[in-house]
Structure 1
Amino acid sequence: MQPLLYQASDLLPEPDLADAAWASGLDTRRRRRRSVLAGVVIALLIAVIAAIGAGVRGSNNAELVPPTTPPSNPPGYLPPSGQIAGIDFWVAPPPGSERFLDRIETPLGDLLRLPDTVVALKENPLERTAAVVLEEQGAAYVPLILGADSSWAVADVQLRATRSGSPLSSGTVSPDGRLAAFPQPGQVVVIDVTTAEIRRFNLPAQDLRSVAWLMDSNRVLVSGPGVAYRVLVGAGGYGEPTVTAVNGSRDPDAITAPYRLDTGAVMRYLSTGGWMLDSSLDLPVRAWVGQTFSTSSTAARLFIANNLPQVPTRASQPQVLAAIDTLRALPSRLLVLGEPQPSTAGRADPADVREPGCCAVLGWYDDNTPLFEVRGWVLAWDLRTGRVHRVTELAVNGVALGPGIRS
């Protein structure tokens, strides 16, 4: 058999063992690579699934995780001075420093005073109101209206004093800048600055002192001590009466919409003519002053505070501007209106003391900047930076601002 096997094997090709070994090695290497790659992919999938599961378990409300690095503050940012009732507060520049503050350019100019010459509103209709002031002519008051283009016009109407004095309310100008409303004994007078039309709406009460517009600029709230009315001056719903009684307040300035800051609460206006609790406030309020002015997310009003141990002040009744977030998405803020500066004799100059009656919120320059009056000045407070700017010096007795101030 052995000779036969040798003879048969001679007919077969002799294998190259080196090539066979190299091919076998490459095949093994490919199999190992495929195995490692499959393992990596499986590990990554397991890690992703585990991370998603941990996020779901860690938050039943699927809340967003805040970034580990807080956003940077805007240029010029001032850190708060501390907290009052858990709300950050800043201290305004002291009395006497207003003229040295950076100024915001507006149609009001550097000094707001009665114009030397003025044309009739019929001859110079305005597109939007920047400000309204009153000129006393004997026992009457005549409205002078400043437009967004810095031109003045006088309305052809004489207003009577209210029981509180001047019929100019801080809420006189409508949100669209087209209308101006004035409380009068037993009525409200509305002027359309775009047409010079003057309308009078009779009301049941004689003692009316404050006006505040709804955001639609078609309805105005007119109020006196304990009484308030909603007056339809534009297009309304089907069957809506021209005058509707709404819930009043002992403080006429408290009647505002869409929000009002009041005793211990933020109140939301309802279309039925009442207000409901929106959120609670735990501020050291002795009394609220002036009207509440609101943007889409913030309501601002000034209050006289009880003693503030957080703020050294020589004012007998310190005053604070409260800017309260109504959406609860951003922090609320407070501005303490500074302390009186002592005179050279070591006592405060009465002209510089910011006592009650000197100050009130007048509106908003934009969604981040409430405007407020202090003795003889209109100032602006930037909520983003905490800085206070001057808008204009006042040489008039009272002013109501409108959206044209931004032009």
Structure 2
Amino acid sequence: MKEEDLARLLAVATEDIRPTHPASAGWERARRTRRNRRAAGAAAVAVVLLTGGTAVALRPADRPSPITPATPTASPVPSAAPVQRPPEQLTYPGDPLARLGDPVSASLSARPVRQALALYQPVDPGTGVEGRIRVLGDDGLVRDLDVVTPAKTRDADGNAAVPLKSSSLSPDGRTAAFAQTDEVIVVDLTTATVRHYPLKGYLEHVLWSGDRLFVGDNDTTYEVDRGTGAAREVSVSPWDVISPDPSVRTDTVLTLGGAPESLTLGRYTQSAAGTDRSSWPLDFRALPSGNRVDEFYGRGWQRGDQVARAGWLTTGSMSGLEGVAVLNAETGVVTRLLDLGRDRWKACCEVLGWDRDGALLLRHDPGGLLRWQPSTGAVTGVVRDLHGEVSLAAG
């Protein structure tokens, strides 16, 4: 018998014989079945992916999603009306400056301040008699300014006024200045020390520009070097000089004022190259027709590209209204008016400066302080019944 025939015979003979290890054989068949199924499944998935990928590749591309421009983290500021009015009833949400009316609890000489929030000189509304100047520190304590007693300011005609002015306190709250006849007094509130700088004239005006100090009488404005006491004349009206933004060092002085019907914004720069002076009329076209400023009073204050100053307004057909104007410091365009109405004591509503949030602080009779946010129109009370003069560490 050939070898091939023997192999065929053995194969036929063993076809019906069960395996000696049936469990092992069963597991082997199961493994083969699972392996075959996995292979088939993988093939099917590959076909689906290939088909889908081909379809995606052949399908026209969707338009890309629009890109949203980056927005500031702060919420957008609503655009308020150009002519605004306070609410009938003011709210007083609480403010550190409300402690200006607290009684004196220490003397400055005994407890100098780290920083003053405000100066306050009370004046009796009935008699007109003024009290001593007080210092409100950032610790909330009210101190008596005991290291010096400035006299009343006087003009050439003998008219007198209390020595504390709205711009007496430096923007950093560390120094105070008081105009006097033939001198200016400078007090370091952090050390309770006093310096006297001699100057000529019936001096009434003081204001700060960073470390620079401007002092003036009716006709002349001086710039005083605090280190040496040296002074030079600056040819601008001391009544109309704007308190500059304390965060910006500049040699330019802005003025705002003029007679009714000819109000102007001026710019004055004095340098080694000479003097540069320019001015242009105020522009009221951004306001509704019939709204304007007739005359300014009090100190004007700059913050960035904005200037604010109190004055008498005309809104619609009514004139002689007390109010505040905000204008662009570069163009002279008046952008906002705050209408505070009539029948108030004259020059009731002097601006005292800007706060860090871009709101204006101003006087409000009888004897109160207001906070006005021109960008939103919000007006809230700060303190009631504060009769007298106030100077804030604001700019």
Secondary structure at the residue paired with 2:169? coil
Which position in structure 1 is the counterpart of 2:148?
A: 157
- How far is 1:278 from its partner? 6.5
Q: How does 1:222-301 map to 2 (within 5 A)?
A: 222-234=215-227, 242-249=230-237, 252-254=239-241, 256-257=243-244, 259-263=254-258, 264-272=263-271, 276-277=277-278, 280-283=281-284, 284-301=292-309
- Is 1:190 the counterpart of 2:198? The answer is no
Structure 2 residues without counterparts, runs of 5 or longer = 1-53, 64-68, 155-159, 246-253, 285-291
CA contact (8 A) 2:322 2:348 kept: no
Conserved in 2, the CA contact under 8 Å of 1:221 and 1:256? no
Give the SS at the match of 1:186.
strand
How many pairs does the alignment contain? 309
Match for residue 119 of structure 1 among 96, 106, 114:
106
Secondary structure of the residue aligned to 1:398 is strand
Once the two structures are superposed, the pairs formed by residues 2-401 of structure 1 within 5 Å of their partners are 74=77, 79-80=80-81, 88-94=82-88, 97=89, 100-109=90-99, 112-113=100-101, 115=103, 117-134=104-121, 142-155=132-145, 156-163=147-154, 164-204=160-200, 206-214=201-209, 216=210, 218-234=211-227, 242-249=230-237, 252-254=239-241, 256-257=243-244, 259-263=254-258, 264-272=263-271, 276-277=277-278, 280-283=281-284, 284-305=292-313, 307-309=314-316, 317-326=320-329, 332-337=335-340, 339-340=341-342, 353-375=343-365, 376-401=367-392
Deviation at 1:212, TM superposition (A): 0.9
Name the counterpart of 1:54. none
Contact 1:210–1:253 at 8 Å: present in 2 too? no
Q: Secondary structure at the match of 2:300?
A: strand
Considering fraction of residues, name the structure with more strand: 2
Q: Which has the higher contact order (CA 8 A, sep 6+)?
A: 1
Letter in 2 for 1:382: Q
TM-score by length of 2: 0.66
Query: Normalising by structure 1, what TM-score?
Result: 0.64
Q: CA deviation at 1:227?
A: 1.0
Q: Identity of counterpart residues, as a percentage?
A: 27
Q: Which moved more, 1:264-273 or 1:160-169?
A: 264-273
For structure 1, the residue ranges without an aligned partner over 5 or more in a row are: 1-32, 45-64, 81-87, 235-239, 341-352
Between the aligned partners of 1:162 and 1:241, the Cα distance in structure 2 is: 20
- The whole-number CA distance in structure 2 between the counterparts of 1:274 and 1:108 is 44
CA contact (8 A) 1:292 1:301 kept: yes
> RMSD of aligned C-alpha atoms?
4.1
Question: Residues of 2 paired with 1:275 and 1:381: CA distance?
Answer: 34
How far 1:298 moved relative to its partner?
1.7
